[in-house]
């Protein structure tokens, strides 16, 4: 009987030692440390944390990193604000509200422009984002040779005698035929201004575009368990699951609580 207890104690000691050896090696591994803690950071007054991550610090093609794919934010000294790329186009990040899960953006092409020209339609594709309830569309028709019915003129965007017209919200006629009259159609998103009348929009569309718009991301409530256990949230790009990076260098699901203790209880059941 004494011999059996000695053997059990040996295996217990062996597995516990092996476990903590793995923990130490993981914590000392450069790759593990690079992703393990996913620290919060601030860029031009904007806090960057899960599900967003620093594109300039982490490898977007890695199988796991500190936030959702497509949520990488670039922070460089020569830019006035952090930049996020949604699909293929650059947008300045004005603020991120982690309580309301909202992201305030402004198109980099119209930033600080008195008479901005919308150049692309924003499509969110498969990103876990949606336009906020405050979103309002401005539909521009550029280089038109004739007026468009019920439209507003963008006087500052005249080009070689041609004019630009736009519609606010759902004021565009359903049967509008602009082909052969205008060169291009682009939809820009702004924040709704209930106090604006038509005359205000004619002179104020530029200010509205520079103010930007708000996107909401799907609630990442599962991250709370990880942060409550002093971990940092991450994301597995292969399995599309939340990861919890723990201070001891290990990577867990959901939270970091009870890691060594749980193993010891499990091994003691064999004694």
- Cα 141 to Cα 151: distance, rounded to the nearest angstrom: 10
Task: Give the model's pLDDT for residue 153.
Answer: 94
Percent of the chain whose pLDDT exceeds 90: 37
Task: Look up residue 31 and give its two tokens.
Answer: 């790759």
End-to-end CA distance of the chain, in Å?
A: 12
Q: How many residues appear in the chain?
A: 271
Task: Look up residue 10 and give its two tokens.
Answer: 């040996």
Q: Which residues contact 227 (CB under 8 A, 6 or more apart)?
A: 233
**Residue 42 predicted with pLDDT over 50:** yes
- Cα 187 to Cα 214: distance, rounded to the nearest angstrom: 15
Task: Look up residue 158 and give its two tokens.
Answer: 């005249």
**Residue 260 CA: distances (Å) to CA of 24, 31, 247:** 13, 22, 13
- For 197-218, the pLDDT digits (tens) are 888 998 899 999 999 999 998 6
Q: Mean pLDDT score of the chain, rounded to an integer? A: 79
**Residue 64 CA: distances (Å) to CA of 32, 73, 224:** 10, 16, 19
What confidence tier does 12 reach under pLDDT thresholds 50, 70, 90?
A: very low
The answer to whether the beta carbons of residues 40 and 255 sit under 8 Å apart is no
Is the Cα torsion angle 72, 73, 75, 76 positive or negative in sign? positive
Tell me: cis bond preceding 111? Omega within 30 of 0 counts: no
- 208: closest CA among 104, 125, 132, 116? 116
The 10 Å Cβ neighbour count of residue 173 is 11
pTM here is 0.73
The answer to whether the beta carbons of residues 15 and 241 sit under 8 Å apart is no
- For 107-152, the pLDDT digits (tens) are 999 998 889 999 988 888 878 889 999 999 999 999 999 999 999 9
The residue extents of the domains of the chain are 1-101+219-271, 107-216
Strands (E) across the chain are located at 41-43, 46-48, 53-54, 64-65, 72-74, 83-86, 89-97, 102-107, 129-131, 135-144, 152-153, 163-168, 184-191, 213-217, 232-236, 241-245, 251-252
Task: Give the model's pLDDT for residue 18.
Answer: 45
């Amino acid at each position: 009987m004494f011999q059996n207890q000695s053997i059990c104690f040996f295996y217990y000691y062996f597995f516990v030692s092996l476990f903590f050896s793995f923990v130490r090696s993981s914590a000392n591994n450069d790759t593990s440390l690079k992703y393990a803690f996913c620290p919060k950071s601030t860029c031009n007054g904007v806090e960057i944390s899960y599900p967003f991550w620093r594109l300039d610090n982490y490898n977007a093609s890695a199988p796991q990193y500190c936030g959702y794919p497509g949520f990488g934010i670039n922070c460089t000294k020569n830019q006035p604000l952090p930049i996020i790329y949604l699909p293929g186009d650059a947008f300045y990040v004005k603020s991120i509200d982690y309580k309301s899960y909202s992201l305030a953006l402004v198109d980099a092409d119209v930033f600080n422009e008195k008479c901005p020209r919308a150049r692309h339609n924003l499509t969110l594709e498969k990103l876990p984002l949606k336009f906020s309830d405050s979103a309002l569309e401005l539909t521009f028709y550029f280089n038109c040779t004739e007026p468009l019915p019920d439209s507003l003129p963008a006087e500052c965007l005249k080009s070689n005698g041609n004019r630009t017209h736009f519609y606010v919200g759902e004021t565009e006629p359903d049967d509008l035929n602009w082909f052969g009259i205008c060169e291009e159609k682009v939809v820009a998103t702004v924040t709704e201004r209930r106090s604006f009348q038509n005359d205000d929009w004619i002179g104020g569309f530029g200010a509205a575009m520079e103010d930007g718009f708000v996107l909401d991301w799907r609630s990442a409530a599962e991250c709370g368990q990880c942060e409550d256990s002093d971990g940092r949230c991450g994301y597995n790009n292969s399995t599309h699951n939340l990861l919890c990076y723990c201070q001891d260098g290990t990577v867990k699901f959901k939270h970091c609580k009870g890691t060594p203790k749980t193993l010891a209880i499990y091994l003691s059941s064999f004694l």
